[in-house]
Structure 1
Amino acid sequence: MRLVTIAVMGALLAPQAMASDRPTLGLLTHTSEWSNLRYKCAVESDGQLLCAMAWSDVRKLSSGKTLKDEIAKGLDLLKTTKPGKPEECDDLERRVGDIRHPSRASPGIAAEVRALDPRDRRDLVRSWELAAEFCRHPTRQTMIKLVTQRFEQRAMTCSVDGYEAYRRFKKVDESTWASTTGPDGVCGWVSIARFERDAAVPEIWNYVEQRSIAHPHIATPDLKCSEFKPSEQRYVWGVNDFHAGCEFISFVPF
């Protein structure tokens, strides 16, 4: 697929070949993660490039977790959990009733419930039912049911996150523009980034960023710099669509 797409892209970019002596703008995809990078660069008076860069990341909320471990955490928490106050449990059951029978709810809640997708509505009912049941009877059985339901929903939920930054790049040679920042922060983060020409289509610029820390020996009560390992992120031109298997989307606040 990439070879076919590159061939098409090469034909489209042929008229621009003479003007492609530097990165200008593009959309790149991470080579191993659900992430993409948009960039737009302009030449400054000193010949450097100032690039506006925007990353978008998609991740499964349950990534790296197992149901067995989550149940173990829940059962450990159960040791110090007491039944909820009657009025708190009543409120949870009232929420279930509002979702099941919106005609009995307040106008505002009724409108929100009726706007829900049928499946979202069923999932919401199930969530509140289990919460209400656990509120009155915090037992091993109800904890396992509650944790399992939440884990299964998180396994179908993807978080969407994004951030932006400006970076300056200097020309290294005809195929490379580089940027170095840091050391920054307590651990002394160092970032070395490069725009590199695509080997198959020279008019396309791919992006590589290597991150490391300068002070791994530093430790505070809340932070151990030695726990951060060097990493390399690669973004290349290609297909931007991928199958994530998400049924729910959670947007991460700034």
Structure 2
Amino acid sequence: MKPYSDITDPRLIKALAHPLRIRILAILEDRELASPNELSELLGVSLGVMSYHVRRLHALGFLELVKRTPRRGAIEHHYRAKARPVVTDEGWAETPSIVKRAMVGASLEQVTGYVNTAAARGGFDRGDAHLSRRAVTLDEQGWRDLAGELENLMSKLEQIEGESAARLRDAGDEHGKSAMPSGVVLMLFEAAGVPEDGRQAGNGDGKHLGRRSSRRPRPLHAAAAGDLD
């Protein structure tokens, strides 16, 4: 389980707004190591493009180079994620709106794919799986109270994850039958002008559920409650 790393600098937040960089970090949360060549094959991106974004993430401190492996006259570089990045409230407040929207869009694209894959594989089949959406009307105090409750829930989630990891280690079953890869999504956003059925005005396709994030996207890699094998 990789630790979380808070990000306050808006320049670093801007660097994470690219959807490919978010996908790279998501993969490296679940894998110990990966090279640009392996990542390019996984994500269907040219090696040149992938190498550029991996180098940028490395230069910015999100990845660390772990080993170099000779491959057919070349050197393959293997990287791992140093931590799971989390944007602080202070950093998010100072980030330009265009960057916020790009970052939220990239995160939602990733979440949508992850959740849809989990659902197709039966990730919501358990009786205690959870999927809900609720439109609410709040005043400023209510918004702050609800945002605080979500923060508390994230802290509790991290505590439960750590306790689960310790039990799995003690049982020698970190990646065995008892380990249950799962995901959780928490969102709080302003929805002024968005119909409660989620359809975009004049479109009717139901694809756009919100326009902008209210607080930081926590953490960058997340999914709805359910199992993903």
TM-score (normalised: structure 1): 0.20
Larger strand fraction of residues? 1
Larger relative contact order (C-alpha < 8 A, sep ≥ 6)?
Answer: 2
Which structure is larger by alpha-carbon Rg, 1 or 2?
Answer: 1
